[in-house]
Amino acid sequence: MLLIGVAGMVGSGKSTLARVLASRFGLQLALESTDDAAALAPQAAQPNPWLSRFYGEPDGRSRYALPLQLHFLATRFASLRHMRGQGGSWILDRTWYEDAEVFARGLYEQGLMTATEHDLYERLYAELLHLPAARPPRLLIYLHAPLDTILARIEERGRDKERETERAYWAQLHARYERWIAGFRRCEVLPLDVRDYDLLHDPAAADEVAGVVRQRLEPELPQTDLFPSPRGRGRLSRR
């Protein structure tokens, strides 16, 4: 089974890139649900009873941080188990590593999860990583850009909750992502600077990005595709 992960900040273009590569290479697509922030195969979807409480109740963030993150974790691993059972080749919009090592860790650092709660979460996460379903992806594509670029993209895509979120939150999340990827060693990483391509407005960018991914994954990709000679391939970051 071939599994490719796409990681990066909100607004970095993970879903767009995942769709492009799924179409180009004949991959099955597991998109992140914007309703409950978990990447789901449809058969693994479960209602999230914690999200509205987390955001809607006066003390919801501190009261429900742990059950919310446990729901995301359980849903993510149910999705992984489904994909492993189905077999084939998949591309995943956001990874289980980010759930635990960026978002849950962030809640702990913000004081919304106690040390005891975070220790319990970490113990469970460490055990789940030993499951066959949690074998690392063959490749992790990491989308990155300066904070101002990410904020401009968040503003452009126009989701009210995101646009209304204070800059300080995005700055903290951006810093956590950069720390996380700097120490990430679980699989091969392909970093891409999102300023170097525009999949929405530049058709040639799809060829360029797909060509770089193909270089990393030949001959494992499930579908042969013909690409024009890569133009400007050196623009893509190898950070």
Which of 35, 36, 93, 196 is labelled catalytic?
Answer: 93
CB under 8 Å to 158, separation ≥6 — which residues? none
HEC profile of the chain? CEEEEEEECCCCCHHHHHHHHHHHHCCEEECEECCCCEECCHHHCCCCCCHHHHHHCCCHHHHHHHHHHHHHHHHHHHHHHHHHHHCCEEEEECCHHHHHHHHHHHHHHCCCCCHHHHHHHHHHHHHHCCCHHHCCCCEEEEEECCHHHHHHHHHHHCCHHHHCCCHHHHHHHHHHHHHHHHCCCCCEEEEEEHHHCCCCCCHHHHHHHHHHHHHHHCCCCCCCCCCCCCCCHHHCCCC
Q: Is 193 a catalytic residue?
A: no
d(CA 2, CA 199): 23
Q: Taking every pair of C-alpha atoms in the chain, what is the biggest distance, in angstroms? A: 56
Hey, which residues are catalytic here? 93
